[in-house]
Amino acid sequence: MDNIFTLLLALLAYIAYALPLYIIAKKSEEENAWLAFVPLVNFWLMCQMADLSLLWLLFAILIPGGFFLFQIVVWWRLAENTNKSGFWGVLMVIPYVSFFVGYYLALYDPPNARY
């Protein structure tokens, strides 16, 4: 019974962390916004929304420490695409803080927002 509870809790946590990416994708009118919930494939969606080539994803996978840099660059670009400071995107690499920042990026619409 504990295993089922743990699995459900992990699933809910994953959905809670993927939901801001889904909301940003829907606001930017991405065709496949549902990819935000698919593990690993959501990085492709992030590259597409941040206007980065898939070479960045390859860089993230092949170079040690590249994924950390990839996350910073992609979230910086996503924050700027939602008309917020790129520094909000840098906060997305900090555990626990990223939960709140993700929802801020997804739900707060400043004037003149462009998606």
| Predicted confidence (pLDDT) per residue in 54-108, tens digit | 888 888 889 888 889 999 999 999 999 888 889 999 999 998 999 999 999 999 8
Tokens coding 32: 């496949």
Contact criterion met (CB below 8 Å) for 56 and 70: yes
Q: What's the pLDDT at 112?
A: 65
Of 66 and 113, the one with more pLDDT: 66
E strands along 7-83, which residues? none
Measure the CA–CA gap between 17 and 97, rounded to whole angstroms: 11
Rounded CA gap, 68 and 81, in Å? 20
**Residue range 28-40: mean pLDDT, rounded:** 92
Q: In this predicted structure, what is the pLDDT of residue 45? A: 93
Residue 44 burial (10 A CB sphere; 0-12, 13-18, 19+): middle
What's the predicted TM-score (pTM) here? 0.86
| Domain range annotation of the chain | 2-107
97 and 91 Cβ atoms separated by less than 8 Å: yes
